[in-house]
Structures are given as C-alpha cells and as structure tokens.
C-alpha cells in the first residue's frame, strides 16, 4: 500500500504531500490541473526516465518520496537479494534529480541504481492507462497474461526450462562432435605424426634437468679432476707438511703428551680425534671420486644431442618436459576418441533422444496447463465484458502450437475478439476500438486482481470514451479490484468518483505570480459538491446536489453488497 507520496519542484508542483487510504482512492479535477503530474511522480519512483526539464522554474532539484507498507514475501526477498535494509514492513523510496543532472536514488536509505528501482517498481505498482491497453495487442503480452493466471505455472515452467536446457546441451555436444568429424582424416594424420615424433624421443619426466647436470659435469671433467686432486693432496698427502691429516696426526701426538701433565686437554683431544676421523673419511671419498671421473668425449656428444632433441620438442609442445608429456597424453586420448567415433556418436544421439523425450513430456504439460488456463480465463473475462455492457462480445484466448521448442515453450497465444453478433472473431489488434480495448483491459484486471502479487493499481482515465450504464459497470469493476489491492484512479466520471473510499481534488492556483498545483482530500460535503460538479457542470443546483447524493447513496449500497 502507498501510504504517503511527497513531491517537491515537479513542474507546477512546488511541494505537496498526499496520504492515501486502503481501497479505492479517487483523484479528480479540471483538465490541466496537474493530475498527470502525480502519475509522473509515481513513474519516477518506478524507474522511468527523467530529465532536468521537469524541474520547477527556480528550483535546483526535483524530489519524489514514497512510503509504502509491504506484506509481499517477494518484495522482502528482493530487498534481501539486493542487500537493501529491510527491518520492518515499511519501505521508503526517494528519488532526486538535481539541476546538474545528478540522479540520487535511495531505498530504505541505501543507494541504488535506476535498474534496481525499476525492478522494485514492477513489484510494487501497476499503472494502467492507454499505453498499457496497447500492450495487450502484443502476442508476447497475451501469452504472459495466460501464464500469470495459470496455477503452479512457475513450477511447470521451471521443469520445462530444465528439460529444455538439457536438450540444448545434448544437441550442442552432438553437433560439435559431428562438425569435428568432418576434419577427422587430416586431424588423425597430424595427431599420429605428432605422437610418433614425441614417442621417437621417448623422453622421461625431469629428463631435461638430469641431462643438464650430466652435461655440466662432463663438460668440466678436467677442471673437476684438478680441483679434486688438489683437495685430496691437501687433505692426506703425507709427503707434504701442508697436508691437513698429517698436521692433525702431529696435533694428536702433542695432545697425548700434554695429557700426561694436564687433563684439561682431554676435551680438546676428543675434538681433534673426531675431526681426524671425519676428514679421513672425506679423503677416501675424494680419492674414490677421482677414479670415477669420466673423460669420454663421445658420451658428452651423445648427451648434447639428446638434450637438443628434447629442447626441440619443448619448443614445439612445451615449454617444459612435463608439458610435452601432457600434450602427448591429450593426443593419445583424442586418437582413442576418434577411433571410437561411432560409439561416441551413438551415445550422444541416445542422449539427445532421451533429453528430447523428457522435453516433449514437459512441453506437453506446459501446453495443457496453458490451454486449460486460457479456456478458463476466456470465460471469466467474457463474463466481465457482459457486465461492462458488451452483451454480444466474444472473447477467446487461442493457444497455438509452433512445433518448435523455445525457452518459453512451444506455444503462441492470440486473443480473438468480436463485439457484435454475426461477426467472426478476429485478432484483437484488428478488431477492438480504443473504448473496447479499455474495457477489455479492465475486465482482465478484474479477473486477475486476486492472484496478482502487485499491491498498488493505478488507473489513468480508464473511463475515456465511455459513459452512462457502461461507466457504472466500469466503476463496479474497479471496486472489485479495490477489494484485493489499493487502487488510485484518475477519473472524469461521477459514476466512478462516487465509489471512492478516499476522494482527492486536484487544482491549480496562482500565488505570487506563480502557478502551483494543489491536492486536497475532500470531506463528505466537499465530495458531494465535486460529484455534483462532475455530473452537471460548473453551476451546482439543488437538483444536481440531490442527484449527487443519490449517486453516493447508491454507491455505498453497491459497495456493501459486493463485500457480502
């Protein structure tokens, strides 16, 4: 429910605030008084486009603010999904357009984009006017009308779309495999050549690193030998006084002699003994290494050639040996797949057939649901059209099968209509006049109001082109809708205005050489005068007041009867 709408600096509006009621809120006033400005303000809160030209002369900004109560789980879920503060069953929407073009939008104090505001607006408010009537002529809207009325439609559509998605994936996999098979002859030849090239080298994991170590060692064999021999000589050559082990042996002897006189050298003696043993073992290892040094140039050349072969493969399939081996595995897997092409194709075709069978079943369920709903909906709307004075009208929602799967099913919807006896039902866009289209739209809203999740309905001069008994029927339909949701209705007809739960009058006045739009909630006496004015013109007479009182009393009676 829209509790409060506040507007600043919008065209002729300098500042106004309206507190709306539940049920039917009627807005009346002379043409040009500014009724459409309130719709414009609501449109801004629904994410419609704006520009700075609508800012009141002398103003630096325009601002619209709405306070709404919400009891829709869908809206609470939306606020949670968008990370918008949601602590109560009340929502505050603010939109401000500054003269410099800056657009500020807040929902419950959280800054949001126009796109988010538009999504929320579609959940909150349904504005019904001439443009919305025209939307009924679009085939996609006619199908959406059926879908919105269908029981458990979302569950049925979800099941269908899941089946459709699986089917499309299966078809795509089959198509890709069949397309790939067109180049299999060339592909097999290339893959086998690459596999043979890698297989001929027969590289092993980390072989390049091991080769690098071996080549480095063989390339520097003489330098290594010189360094090892020098090290061995310094460690253990007894002919040299500089040998480490020779020196340590002399130190051992000296310490043994010292221990006869002073036991404090015992620990020093132990350290020297341990060092001698370790260095002696090292000397043996160095000596053995000298014997193992390989001076074979042929072996080095062989390793270098092997390294070149591996490097060439890495440049083509690498960059590392592990990458070459991984590439070879992919080649072999692909070759196995190609060789088993017939089996794979048969399996993919079986998957397509299975997926299509499930899709066909889900599509059938969706089609049956739409056809059943269309038939029921057609009957209910036709009854409403009879009550709206279209006694000879025929109204049929026809569901046709396209025989082609799409994301939304295999069906199209088309509304067929004729207004007079003896005429053939034809597509709505070819037969309905503007007045007839308006009444058809109202009949649809009346039928679908109870199941429509949007809580606020706005009717913008739905009475255009009608009068008399038809106007009375339109008024009663609007009252029925107001039993399920809050309705804001701009009207020029007293038959509709007298049904108001709250009646607002909009006019414009000149103050300090500026024209401004005002809005006022009418008392019962003021409403009586306004109904009389609407029914008889500017001059209000005793007879017009009596007529207005009778209309109001009849309206109260009809509203009480409808509530029963």
Average the pLDDT over 259-274 and give the result.
82
Confidence bin at 50 (pLDDT 50/70/90): confident
Average pLDDT over residues 522-534: 90
Q: CA 345 to CA 332: how far, in whole Å?
A: 19
pLDDT tens-place string over residues 361-418 = 999 999 999 999 999 999 999 988 887 778 888 999 999 998 899 999 999 999 999 9
Neighbours of 126 (CB within 10 A): 21
Beta-bridged to residue 228, according to DSSP, are none
Taking residues 18-46, report their average pLDDT: 85
User: What band does 64 get if pLDDT is binned at 50, 70 and 90?
Assistant: very high
Task: Say yes or no to pLDDT of 238 above 60.
Answer: no
H/E run at residue 352: helix 341-387
Phi, psi of 463 (to 5 degrees): -85, 5
What the chain holds in terms of domains, given with CATH numbers, is 2-129+453-563 (3.40.50.300), 185-339 (no CATH)
Contact predicate 341/174, CB 8 Å:
no
Confidence of residue 241 (pLDDT cuts 50, 70, 90): low
Which of these ranges, 163-167, 347-351, 512-516, has the smallest mean pLDDT?
512-516
**Worst-scoring range by mean pLDDT, 298-312, 450-464, 517-531?**
450-464
Indicate if the pLDDT at residue 328 is higher than 80. Answer: yes
Q: What is the pLDDT of residue 171?
A: 94
Predicted local distance difference test score (pLDDT) of residue 164 = 95
> In this predicted structure, what is the pLDDT of residue 92?
93
Ranking 365-379, 455-469, 504-518, 543-557 by mean pLDDT, the lowest is 455-469
pLDDT at 355: 95
> What is the overall mean pLDDT for the chain?
84
Give the distance from CA 168 to its chain's centroid.
Answer: 21
Tell me what the mean pLDDT of segment 135-146 comes to: 84
pLDDT (0 to 100) of residue 464 = 64
Please give the angle made by the CA atoms of 322, 188 and 198, to the nearest 5 degrees: 30
The pLDDT, as a whole number, for residue 465 is 64
At residue 272, the pLDDT reads: 83
Q: Say what angle helices 434-448 and 341-387 make with each other, to 10 degrees.
A: 110
Mean pLDDT, rounded, for 258-275: 82
Average pLDDT estimate for 332-353: 84
Shortest CA distance to 456 belongs to which of 139, 206, 123? 123
* pLDDT score for 223: 77
Whether the per-residue pLDDT at 131 is higher than 60: the answer is: no
| Residues 6 or more apart in contact with residue 337 via CB below 8 angstroms | 344
Percent of the chain with pLDDT over 90: 23
pLDDT-derived band at 203, boundaries 50, 70, 90: confident
> How do strand 103-107 and strand 110-111 relate by DSSP bridges?
antiparallel
CA gap 262, 122 in Å, rounded: 104
> What is the structure's pLDDT at 368?
95
Report the distance separating Cα 338 and Cα 184, nearest Å: 7
Mean pLDDT of 161-190: 84
Nearest to 40 by CA among 68, 19, 69, 9: 9
Confidence label for 482 from pLDDT (cuts 50, 70 and 90): confident
Kindly indicate the confidence band of residue 129, based on its pLDDT and cuts at 50, 70 and 90. Answer: low
């Amino acid at each position: 429910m829209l509790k409060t709408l506040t507007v600043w600096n919008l065209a002729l509006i300098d500042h106004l605030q309206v507190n709306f009621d539940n049920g039917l809120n009627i807005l009346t006033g002379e043409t040009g008084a500014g009724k459409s400005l309130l719709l414009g303000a609501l449109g801004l809160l629904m994410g419609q486009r704006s520009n700075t030209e609508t800012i009141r002369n002398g103003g630096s900004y325009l601002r619209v603010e709405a306070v709404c109560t919400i009891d829709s789980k869908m809206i609470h879920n939306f606020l949670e999904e968008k990370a918008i503060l949601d602590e109560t069953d009340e929502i505050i929407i603010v939109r401000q357009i500054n003269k410099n073009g800056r657009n500020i939008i807040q929902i419950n104090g959280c800054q949001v984009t126009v796109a988010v505001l538009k999504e929320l607006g579609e959940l909150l408010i349904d504005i019904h006017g001439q443009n919305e009537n025209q939307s009924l002529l679009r085939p996609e809207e006619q199908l959406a009308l059926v879908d919105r009325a269908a029981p458990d439609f979302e569950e049925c559509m979800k099941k269908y779309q899941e089946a459709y998605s699986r089917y499309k994936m299966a078809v795509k996999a089959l198509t890709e495999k069949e397309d790939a098979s067109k180049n299999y002859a060339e592909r097999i030849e290339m893959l086998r050549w690459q596999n043979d090239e890698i297989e001929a080298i027969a590289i092993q994991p980390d072989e390049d690193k091991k080769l690098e170590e071996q080549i480095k060692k063989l390339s520097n064999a003489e330098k290594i030998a010189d360094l090892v021999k020098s090290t061995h000589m310094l460690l253990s050559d007894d002919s040299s006084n500089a040998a480490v082990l020779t020196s340590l042996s002399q130190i051992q002897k000296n310490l043994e002699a010292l221990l006869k006189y002073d036991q404090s050298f015992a620990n020093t003696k132990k350290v020297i003994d341990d060092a001698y043993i370790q260095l002696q073992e090292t000397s043996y290892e160095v000596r053995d290494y000298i014997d193992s040094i390989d001076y074979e140039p042929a072996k080095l050349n062989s390793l270098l050639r092997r390294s070149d072969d591996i490097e060439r493969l890495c440049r083509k399939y690498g960059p590392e040996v592990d990458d070459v081996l991984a590439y070879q595995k992919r080649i072999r897997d692909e070759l196995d797949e190609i060789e088993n092409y017939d089996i794979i194709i048969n399996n993919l075709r079986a998957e397509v057939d299975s997926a299509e069978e499930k899709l066909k079943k889900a599509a059938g369920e969706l089609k049956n649901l739409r056809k059943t709903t269309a038939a029921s909906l057609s009957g209910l709307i036709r009854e409403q059209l009879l009550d709206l004075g279209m006694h000879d009208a025929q109204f049929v929602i026809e569901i046709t099968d396209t025989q082609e799967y799409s994301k939304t099913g295999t069906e199209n919807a088309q509304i067929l209509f004729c207004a007079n006896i003896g005429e053939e039902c034809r597509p709505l866009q070819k037969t309905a006049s503007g007045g007839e289209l308006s009444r058809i739209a109202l009949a649809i809203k009346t039928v679908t109001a109870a199941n429509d999740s949007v809580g606020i309905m706005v009717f913008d001069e739905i009475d255009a082109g009608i009068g008399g008994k038809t106007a009375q029927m339109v008024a009663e339909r609007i009252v029925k809708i107001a039993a399920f949701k809050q309705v804001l209705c701009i009207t020029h007809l007293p038959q509709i205005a007298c049904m108001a739960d709250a009646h607002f009058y909009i006019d414009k006045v000149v103050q300090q050489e500026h024209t401004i739009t005002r809005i006022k909630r009418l008392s019962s006496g003021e409403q009586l005068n306004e109904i009389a004015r609407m029914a008889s013109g500017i001059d209000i007479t005793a007879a017009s007041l009596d007529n207005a009182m009778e209309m109001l009393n009849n309206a109260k009676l009809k509203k009480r009867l409808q509530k029963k």
